[in-house]
Amino acid sequence: MQRYLFGRFLQALFSLFVLLTIVFFAARLTGDPVALLVGEMATREQVEKLRAYYGLDKPMHVQYMLYLSHLARGDLGRSIVTSRRVTTLVVQRLGASLELLAAALLLSLTVGLVTGVYCAVNRGNRFDLLGRIFAVIGQSLPVFWLGLILMLVFAVWLRLLPTCGRGGLSHLILPAVTLACGLSAGILRLTRSSMLDILSTEYIKLARIKGLSELIVIWKHAVKNGLIPVVTYFAVLLANLVAGAIVTETVFAWPGFGQLIMQAVIHRDFPLIQGIVLFVGSFVLLANVLVDILYTFLDPRIRYN
């Protein structure tokens, strides 16, 4: 088990390294940030001086080695546009993004799992039909369009909730619902189909014959195995969630990573781009490792040797 986890961790580190390397070189293909920074009136010397200041005059591989050596010491550099430390900029946005992600995740897990189980148990009745309609619609709605429509209805027409920005709970509702919609639909479908398989197995029949209450049969015996596919797909779900978060943040002007990375890409702010990718990448990869650990608890048949 320990050996497996160690290997899994190393693999995650390697993935992160690949990601950072691709981003490092891809970002530099976008062009010269200094040209955007100084404008048309700058003299040649001024441009050269600035390029030297940011280390952009060195050959690409030297820049890369320097980047890695700084990174190993925990130094992410300074933003080219604002000259502030990348770490400070990213940490400022971390709270907002995590708040949105956590709210959406909580909402979609609750709605998706409970409705999914309920649909499977009541297979074929009206509730099941409604659940399935919700699932297929939820998966087909473009996040940005759903966000705009919700904003129009609840903020502009009904004036119940604020349109955008971050504040109290009322600010969180619209973006979280927007982001959670697609994810809960996905979780609902997965849970429903795996629960349908489980409910027809012998051990569930046995549990019922033993006279256990329906509540215990479903929520204790069946759900434990029914959750496994959800956990399996969690990595993919999480990647989709991060993608949706970037779009949702743009729609609702939510001050998180999404906005920051769009600005950084437009201004070719290399250190900032790399910093954000490092944070978001580590978050997703770490979550994947945690999911693998969770796996062994859910399903004792899976033992990593």
Q: How far is the CB of 301 from other proteins (least distance, A)?
A: 18
Residue among 76 and 273 whose Cβ is closer to other proteins: 273
Distance between CA atoms of residues 36 and 99, nearest Å: 33
Distance between CA atoms of residues 106 and 191, nearest Å: 16
Residue among 212 and 235 whose Cβ is closer to other proteins: 235
Q: Which residues touch 263 (CB under 8 Å, ≥6 apart)? A: 269
Residue among 113 and 280 whose Cβ is closer to other proteins: 280
Distance between CA atoms of residues 302 and 24, nearest Å: 37
- In the three-class reduction of DSSP (H, G, I as helix; E, B as strand; rest coil), residue 85 is classed as strand
Residue among 19 and 298 whose Cβ is closer to other proteins: 19
Q: How far is the CB of 182 from other proteins (least distance, A)?
A: 9
Residue among 76 and 217 whose Cβ is closer to other proteins: 76
Asked whether 261 and 246 are in contact (CB, 8 A), the reply is yes
Q: How far is the CB of 146 from other proteins (least distance, A)?
A: 8
Residue among 54 and 234 whose Cβ is closer to other proteins: 234
Q: How far is the CB of 49 from other proteins (least distance, A)?
A: 26
Residue among 115 and 288 whose Cβ is closer to other proteins: 288
Q: How far is the CB of 214 from other proteins (least distance, A)?
A: 26
Provide the angle, in degrees to the nearest 10, between the axes of the packed helices 169-199 and 86-121.
40
Task: Tell me how crowded residue 295 is: count the other CB atoms within 10 A of its CB.
Answer: 15
Residue among 145 and 297 whose Cβ is closer to other proteins: 145
Q: Record the tokens describing residue 287, joined without a space.
A: 């979550």
Q: How far is the CB of 215 from other proteins (least distance, A)?
A: 27
Task: Tell me how crowded residue 132 is: count the other CB atoms within 10 A of its CB.
Answer: 16
Distance between CA atoms of residues 64 and 23, nearest Å: 11
Distance between CA atoms of residues 136 and 144, nearest Å: 17
Residue type, 110: T
Residue type, 44: R
Q: How far is the CB of 213 from other proteins (least distance, A)?
A: 29
Distance between CA atoms of residues 64 and 60, nearest Å: 6
The contact set with other proteins (CB under 8 A) reads 11-12, 14-15, 18-19, 22-23, 26-30, 136-137, 139-145, 148-149, 151-152, 156, 186, 189-190, 193-194, 229, 233, 235-237, 239, 242-243, 246-247, 250-251, 261-262, 265-266, 268, 273, 276-277, 280-281, 284-285, 288
Distance between CA atoms of residues 150 and 181, nearest Å: 12
Q: With CA atoms as reference, report the closest residue to 207 among 190, 225, 189, 227.
A: 225
Q: How far is the CB of 294 from other proteins (least distance, A)?
A: 16
